[in-house]
Amino acid sequence: MLTLRHIHIFLVFTLIVLFDVQGKSANALQANINNDTQGYHTIAPALFRKAFDQFVSKYSGRDAANVVISKFKVLRDEPVPQGKVQISVIPNRNNKLVEYVRLKAEVRVNGILQNKVTLCAWLDIFETVVCVSRNLKRGRVISQNDLYMDRRNISDMVEDVVMDKDQVVGLMAKHNIKADDILKQWVLKKNPVVKRGDMVTILVLSRGLRITAPGKVLDDGFKGDSISVLNTMSDKKIFARVIDTSTVQVDI
């Protein structure tokens, strides 16, 4: 027969056992947590920077010496398991790799996707470009003496700068251009080699014969254009190809 004393001893013993079991369960849970996080590490920013640099070098189409990368940051770099790490940078839709750039990168460990991060940096592009050596007024025809080459930061105008002097000599300035400005395509236009009313020599070459006649230009024309010309000797209109400022040629 259980007495009150026996019931009290039984309850105390039960509480002690439960306490021990709960304590062991808590310790086991803590051990499991430690095991789950053990071996995780945060990837060094230098690895992301290396992947970013390689991506820019490959997709910008520019020599690495001409691209200056600064203010590099990694966003959402969370710990990943130990193993073979692979970082894949994803191209932007517009593929614009100039000025402030944000790129997504996937982090895989042993081939398994573990994290996605954002890589941010400022890209400055330097190139040797054509610059203007003096103030040029609107309508001026560009000559070699008006130009010089210089290495400049072209980050805000990368698609429009001129990099070859020979491509613009003979073109006309559409606007006033200040000395030492970088020359841009949009401020230039073709300059007619001959203009309506100019007097020229009409040249005909046929079977070794060279025939010339005076002519009057009826249309503005660029080099290589076919324009209307009046043969002032015969008073007949013909079509001839512009050779230079004083000569047009009839192709036979």
pLDDT at position 39 is 77
C-beta neighbour count of 121 within 10 angstroms: 19
pLDDT average per 10 residues of sequence, the chain (252 residues): 44 35 32 46 93 90 87 93 93 81 94 95 94 94 94 88 91 94 93 92 89 94 92 94 93 82
- 126-189: CATH number: 3.90.1210.10
User: Any idea which architecture 199-250 has in CATH?
Assistant: Roll (2.30)
The residue whose two tokens read 């996937």 is 106
Q: Give, in order, the Cα–Cα distances in Å from 40 to each of 75, 81, 104, 177.
A: 18, 4, 22, 60
pTM over 0.85: no
Residue 159 sits at φ, ψ, to 5 deg, of -90, -5
Would you say 94 and 71 are in contact if contact means Cβ atoms under 8 Å apart? Answer: no
Would you say 238 and 248 are in contact if contact means Cβ atoms under 8 Å apart? Answer: no
Question: What are the domain boundaries of the chain?
Answer: 45-125, 126-189, 199-250
Q: Which SS3 state, helix, strand or coil, does residue 3 take? A: coil
Interval 73-128: pLDDT, tens: 999 999 999 999 999 999 887 767 889 999 999 999 999 999 999 999 999 999 99
Interval 55-65: pLDDT, tens: 998 888 888 88
Residue 223 sits at φ, ψ, to 5 deg, of -60, 130
